[in-house]
Structure 1
Amino acid sequence: MDDMMFEVGTALILVAIASVIAGKLKFSIIPFLIVLGMLVGPHAPTIGILDFKFIDSQGVIDFLGQIGILFLLFYLGLEFSVQKLVKSGRNIVTGGTIYVTLNFVLGLAYGFLVQMPLYETLIIAGMLSVSSTAIVAKVLVDLRRTGNAETELILGMILFDDIFLAVFLSVMSGLLLGGTASIGATILSVGISIGYMLLFFVIARKGPPILNKLLRITSNEIFIIVVFSTMIFIAGFSEKLHVAEAIGALLFGLALSETEHSERIEQLVVPFRDFFGAIFFFSFGLSIDPLSLGNAFWLAIGAVILTIIGNLIAGMIAGRKAGLSHKSSLNIGLTIMARGEFTIIVANLGVAGGLSALIKPFSALYVLVLAILGPLLTKESKRIYRGVNRIFKWSEPVEKGKKKHSSVSEVSEVSEDSKIKLDQ
């Protein structure tokens, strides 16, 4: 027990050091922590009393990381209005369908192109189709974009993506692990997932008066115990219904976002979100063995290129169909580009089903590159937009004294670019 506590403490000190370095360099903390996790772990050396393998403490670190995902998604849910999400329902379904379909088709085409067998191709298509809710949430919070016009659509597309994941895992589990996929069981599982999500939307719309009374707790100590305990219980219960635990936390946050206590909860949850969230990205890096990545290098790089193209196209189409500016639409594609925990879940299903040994290193390298590249591209979205805009001429360049623009879309985009210059 003492050794385990010392290992966990060592891991936390490493996380703290990496966080300080990232802060000094004004860099996203996510890639720093993922790479740090890769540099240590089971393949790392033991130096004196410092054991960087973290074998005994791996389970504890993973659990703390899971708690981090819950706090990240719970906070994201608190930041949004269910009423606005409901109004955007049609745009969310359209955008989510475009996003999943395009990426899944690209994944199928890529699998057949590299001559993978059918089941391996389906697994690759599934991995290319699911974004990382944890990384997306962290990026939105870190870059202070929770209030952006496109963020509601991003959140909705994440929910839609989770429904797709539930369907995909149900079908593939039947094919790989059970020898068959029951149509009835799949429909029932998906129906339960959708009904469960809709229940929280109803609670968010109709339940605030009751929730307000239940949460009128003077003591912050008791208040935080009640809220966080309920969040973790709902996340665990969600997983029992084949809804991702992170999505359960997100739904609970949405339900509380309409209450009079939402601001109080946000203030209390922020330190936990940042602390446990950092552990998640470190634990994610621990799960990647850099020595196993070489065999799948070119296969993973090809998938990364396809994902970047697919996400940018899907984001532009979804955003423009929702009436958003070209800049906001580009932000959608960049923000949802990151791959992470859900992609690993799909890959693990393929491994459990006895598929090609190449699936594991391929998924690790694919996720690693996009987990690092996604946040970086999102952070630089302003510069990327200006570069792309020079090619497609979506809006006129900002000029001094220029007051007239040829369309409402251009006025919006030039206004945003003007704000960028003022910020800089």
Structure 2
Amino acid sequence: MNHIVFEIGLAIALVALSGLVAAKFRFSVIPFYILIGMAVGPHAFHIWHLDFRFIESAALIEFMGRIGVLFLLFYLGLEFSVGRLVKAGKSIAIGGTIYILINFSLGLLLGWGLGFPLEEILVIAGITTISSSAIVAKVLVDLKRTANPETEMILGIIMFEDVFLAVYISILSGLVLSGSSSLGGVLLSALIALVYMLGLLIVGRKLVPLLNKALNIRSGELFGLVIFAILFLVAGFSETIHVAEAIGALLVGLVLAETEHAKRIEKLIIPFRDFFGAVFFFSFGLTIDPLTLGGEALWYSLAAVAVTLLGNFAAGLLAGRSAGLSPRASSNIGLTIVSRGEFSIIMANLGKAGGLLAVLQPFAAMYVLILAILGPLLTKESKAIYKALDKVFKWESRHRERKARAQKPTPASDEQ
């Protein structure tokens, strides 16, 4: 701890270096941040039989990474609008249900097909169902897709997943850690999470005129302090009632996006978003032991990746179609939210705490690493992927035919 400032400086320098390399090759920076974290993390010395563990301030870096997730989701909320989200409530509920049902069912089938016991199957289904809010937010911002028509569905699915996660972790914790689960407690947790999120959106929207006056602060210093106080208080309180702190940050962003100070807040947040967001992915890499990524865990993870890619793409197409989106926008949904990250690791750690099979953690680490690298690439190349698949499945021509039939006047209307 005597050299903590030097260690943090070294970590930031490595993150910057990996970012420069990514920019040089015109590649997504996320995989580079994760890989450099793996290379210098607490497990790195096992690879070269040398002690490269000079980043001993992992706990502080991890906390900085948590802050990065908050800024990423907060900014994503600022770029969006609570009005659009509320109007799309029904389609989001349908799309979120479709997404969860498809991916969770495939996760159960994967665990069963690989021959795991029941509790391990349930953990695997949790690992493969929930996408990474941080990676999705980073990709949407980097590719400037926050205004795309499919973005409201993507945000809605992220929030829908959080409600599912609150329920599922409650059930699984009771089953894995204590051998039982209270149905009443689970339903209460889910209800509290849902009411809290909806309440914050509705009440926040009503308070916009008051917020406009309250945030009319000339001093940039005081303005920043007030915004940070709101962000951290709401995000922190959210976690106390089993709503992910990242979702709390997203909700704050959605509310403040309705105010006349949105552009000023956005300008304030961008440097913090970029800095702490990069640290998050680096800290994620620090947690991965490269030597655990081989053997049966590798084959399990490759099977899970294949299932996830298939399930996400199908779920995206169906969810988008249910909301009236074009096939191309619908395909973007599945390709954007394919990344897995922090929530999958939480599920694997729950399995470890419950004394389940040790292979779950390296399986989750390899699975998350592959999709954290593959997800941003698929999103970036979504246009080319859609064009290639459309040549086979003819989605675009069928979509035009459906639109033409819908617009064609009926005989009754012709007579009128």
Q: What band does the TM-score fall into relative to the shorter chain?
A: over 0.9
Report the CA distance between 1:393 and its aligned residue: 1.6
Q: Check whether the contact 1:325–1:409 (CA below 8 A) recurs between aligned residues.
A: no
Q: Give 1:421's aligned residue.
A: none
Work out the CA distance in 1 between the residues paired with 2:31 and 2:54: 20
Cα gap change, 1:54 to 1:343, in 2 (>3 Å): farther
Q: Give 1:301's aligned residue.
A: 302
Q: Give 2:34's aligned residue.
A: 34
Q: Give 1:416's aligned residue.
A: none
Report the CA distance between 1:371 and its aligned residue: 0.5
Work out the CA distance in 2 between the residues paired with 1:369 and 1:94: 29
Work out the CA distance in 2 between the residues paired with 1:55 and 1:236: 27
Work out the CA distance in 1 between the residues paired with 2:350 and 2:404: 44
The 5 Å alignment of 1:6-85 reads: 6-45=6-45, 52-54=52-54, 56-85=56-85
Residues 301-360 of structure 1, C-alpha deviations (whole Å, 9 max, x = no match) = 000000000000000000011110110000000000000001111111111111000000
Q: Check whether the contact 2:43–2:288 (CA below 8 A) recurs between aligned residues.
A: no
Residues 175-227 of structure 1, C-alpha deviations (whole Å, 9 max, x = no match) = 11222100111111111111110121112321101111111110111101111
Specify the SS of the correspondent of 1:338: coil
The 5 Å alignment of 1:18-417 reads: 18-45=18-45, 52-54=52-54, 56-295=56-295, 296-395=297-396, 408=403
Q: Give 2:414's aligned residue.
A: none
Q: Check whether the contact 2:44–2:289 (CA below 8 A) recurs between aligned residues.
A: no
Q: Check whether the contact 2:70–2:249 (CA below 8 A) recurs between aligned residues.
A: yes
Residues 226-275 of structure 1, C-alpha deviations (whole Å, 9 max, x = no match) = 11122112111111100001001111111111111111100110010001
Letter in 2 for 1:306: V
Specify the SS of the correspondent of 1:2: coil
Q: Unmatched 5+ residue regions in structure 1?
A: 397-404, 411-424
Work out the CA distance in 2 between the residues paired with 1:24 and 1:189: 47
Residues 55-102 of structure 1, C-alpha deviations (whole Å, 9 max, x = no match) = 530001101100000000000111111111111111101110011111
Letter in 2 for 1:70: L
Work out the CA distance in 2 between the residues paired with 1:101 and 1:409: 31
Report the CA distance between 1:409 and its aligned residue: 8.3
Letter in 2 for 1:143: L
Letter in 1 for 2:371: L
List, as ranges, runs of 4+ consecutive aligned residues in structure 1 with deviation greater than 4 Å: 405-410
RMSD across aligned positions (CA): 1.7
Cα gap change, 1:409 to 1:58, in 2 (>3 Å): farther
Specify the SS of the correspondent of 1:395: helix
Specify the SS of the correspondent of 2:279: helix
Letter in 2 for 1:315: G
Specify the SS of the correspondent of 1:282: helix
Q: Check whether the contact 1:204–1:257 (CA below 8 A) recurs between aligned residues.
A: no
Query: What percentage of residue pairs aligned between the two structures are identical?
Result: 59
Work out the CA distance in 1 between the residues paired with 2:176 and 2:137: 31
Letter in 2 for 1:308: L
Q: Give 1:422's aligned residue.
A: none
Work out the CA distance in 2 between the residues paired with 1:43 and 1:305: 28
Cα gap change, 1:274 to 1:409, in 2 (>3 Å): farther
Per mean C-alpha deviation after superposition, the further-off stretch among 92-101 and 173-182 is: 173-182
Work out the CA distance in 1 between the residues paired with 2:311 and 2:140: 21
Cα gap change, 1:13 to 1:87, in 2 (>3 Å): same
Q: Check whether the contact 1:107–1:126 (CA below 8 A) recurs between aligned residues.
A: yes
Specify the SS of the correspondent of 1:145: coil
Equivalent pairs, count: 400
Work out the CA distance in 1 between the residues paired with 2:331 and 2:176: 37
Letter in 2 for 1:22: A
Taking structure 2 as the reference length, the TM-score comes to: 0.93
Q: Check whether the contact 1:204–1:258 (CA below 8 A) recurs between aligned residues.
A: no
Work out the CA distance in 2 between the residues paired with 1:289 and 1:203: 45
Work out the CA distance in 1 between the residues paired with 2:370 and 2:404: 34
Work out the CA distance in 2 between the residues paired with 1:44 and 1:340: 21
Q: Check whether the contact 1:131–1:158 (CA below 8 A) recurs between aligned residues.
A: yes
Specify the SS of the correspondent of 2:3: helix
Work out the CA distance in 1 between the residues paired with 2:156 and 2:204: 15
Work out the CA distance in 2 between the residues paired with 1:254 and 1:3: 40
Q: Check whether the contact 1:203–1:255 (CA below 8 A) recurs between aligned residues.
A: no
Cα gap change, 1:409 to 1:230, in 2 (>3 Å): farther
Residues 39-62 of structure 1, C-alpha deviations (whole Å, 9 max, x = no match) = 11113349xxx9742453000110
Work out the CA distance in 1 between the residues paired with 2:44 and 2:307: 33
Cα gap change, 1:221 to 1:52, in 2 (>3 Å): farther
Q: Check whether the contact 1:69–1:277 (CA below 8 A) recurs between aligned residues.
A: yes
Report the CA distance between 1:293 and its aligned residue: 1.0
Work out the CA distance in 2 between the residues paired with 1:247 and 1:323: 26
Taking structure 1 as the reference length, the TM-score comes to: 0.92
Specify the SS of the correspondent of 1:354: coil
